[in-house]
Amino acid sequence: QTDVCESADWYNSKFIVSMASNLNMTRTPDVHFISEARTEGTKFVVLSPDFSMVAKYCDEWIPIQAGQDTALWMAANHVILKEYDIDRQVPYFIDDVKRDTDLPFLV
């Protein structure tokens, strides 16, 4: 809903998640980039409690309930960190984490 990137960048994406935003209503001039990206093979997922106008043309609709969004993203972050940073140790990443982040204090 408050993207940092320009909406035209959606066309260059391979996976787009829309969460708590009905793009057809809030980004009407830009929503065509989603449909154009989908014709190029981009997967589009909508996280929303209701089957909204934008959910009708997504690849996957996840009907989350109020308050479940945090748990969902915590689970996604867990999988990303486990599969790409714990199971697959990369010396550059480990050095960067130790030097430039507060991640060691969070573990």
Q: Which residue has the tokens 């997504």?
A: 58
Residues 6+ apart with CB under 8 A from 14: 41, 42, 43
What are 2-58's pLDDT values in tens digits? 555 678 888 888 999 888 788 888 888 888 888 899 999 999 999 888 888 888 889
Domains and CATH numbers, the chain: 1-64 (3.40.228.10), 67-101 (no CATH)
- pTM, rounded to two decimals: 0.68
Say whether 4 sits in a helix, a strand or coil. Answer: coil
Cα-Cα end-to-end distance for the chain: 31
Say whether 71 sits in a helix, a strand or coil. Answer: helix
